[in-house]
Amino acid sequence: MAIAQTSTDGSTFRGSRVEVPFLNITPDSRSGAMGEAGVALSPDVNASFWNPSKLAFLESNDAVSLSYSPWLRHLVPDISLSYLSYAHKLDERNTLGASLRYFNYGSLQLNDDQSNSQGTYTPSEFSFDVTFARKFGDNFSLGLTGRYIHSSISSISFATPGSSQTGKPGNAFAADASMFYKNTYGDDNSFAFGVNISNIGTKISYSDNGPKYFIPTNLRFGAANTWKLDDDNLITVAFDINKQLTPSPPVRDSNGVIISGKNDDVSVPAGIFQSFGDAPGGFNGELKEYSFSPGAEYWYNNQFAIRAGYHYENPSTSDRRYVTLGFGVKYDVFNFDFSYLAASQQNSPLANTLRFTLSANFGGTSNVSK
């Protein structure tokens, strides 16, 4: 049977156990304010997360960004996500990018069986990415990303008494494959479409001989359209669709026999392909595994932006639904962006989530607002 899990990303996903969910948390404030739509937005340095192929269309020669978000602060006061990204154009067609994600779980008090203090422990997870993006012609690009993932979430034995199995940090490797298309029409209006398949990689384990778990392989695709109203006013509307490419747990009877769905104890490649047709409930069950992110952005005089969006996931799967708001300010080569998440569910752990992003672009003209 499916088990409801309260995850690092604030969801209550009823599915097979998936580790390192921080890989799917929106790190930056721009897309965070647009309902988590970002796969087809105009390129900026944070494309390393949303759609690495967009880096090929950066107009600045070098770009760097630092984002910070206190996470699930209604539950624990010291959890946070930090994100550092960098991009460098090699030439007019080729761009290299790199990013570092660090998720801090805060300090935990450790006690022995007699409740004696054993000090504190700070579990954490991080990932480091390197991306190569190449432009093919004036409208199309492809991107490939390699990723190392490290998860240190246990410092003590987690097995049953008498077991020799002890906890250890988990490590995994993954890759992203992405594409981006954009076309200008009319009076400097533009349409864009993007696809990113992320975290195609190894399973992760926290013991030498223990079980191995899927990492959150993910499919995101979407479109965005920008209208230039005049020299001072730009409006962008974006829409992303997202699906996790890990197997859905089957429904089993009291004897463990599968009565609906498919066996979820499969390899990573099999799990990716199986994820498109293994949901209990058939086609309707599959539709419930998609999430939707409409968002809008308005720029005035290429200096001030306001943003809004909505994120929806079906209550029977991840059950995250919220409105997002934010703004951006550009001064010279610097950009500051802020976003606020107002969860629509009562007592949601994601309510009042804040994100802050500071970025800079050097050696060219940033196209963040175009």
Task: State the average pLDDT over residues 161-188.
Answer: 84
Q: Report the C-alpha gap between 125 and 10 in whole angstroms.
A: 16
Residue with more model confidence, 279 or 84: 84
SS3 188: coil
pLDDT at 12 over 60: no
Residue 80: Cβ within 10 Å count: 18
pLDDT digits (tens, 9 = 90+) for 251-271: 887 877 888 778 888 999 999
Residues of the chain above pLDDT 90, percent: 64
At 78 the pLDDT is 82
Among 171-185, 196-210, 255-269, the range of highest mean pLDDT: 171-185
What is the per-residue pLDDT for 131? 98
Number of other CB atoms surrounding residue 83 within 10 Å? 24
Summary mean pLDDT of the chain? 87
Dihedral sign (CA 158, 1, 10, 84): positive
Q: How many other β-carbons are positioned within 10 Å of the β-carbon of residue 221?
A: 19
Are 55 and 146 contacting, i.e. CB atoms less than 8 angstroms apart?
no
Inter-residue contact 89 to 61 (CB < 8 Å) = yes
DSSP 166: -
What local confidence, expressed as pLDDT, does residue 1 receive?
33
C-alpha to C-alpha distance for 28 and 335, rounded to whole angstroms: 12
- Pick left, alpha or beta for residue 301 (phi over 0 → left; psi -120 to 50 → alpha; otherwise beta): left
pLDDT, tens digit, 9 for 90 and up, residues 86-128: 999 999 999 999 999 999 987 766 666 666 666 677 889 999 9
CB atoms under 10 Å from CB of 338, counted, come to 18
* Cα 110 to Cα 96: distance, rounded to the nearest angstrom: 42
For the chain, the first-to-last Cα distance in angstroms comes to 48
Residue 8 has pLDDT above 70, yes or no: no
Higher pLDDT, 346 or 333: 333
pTM for the model stands at: 0.87
**Is residue 292 scored above 80 in pLDDT?**
yes
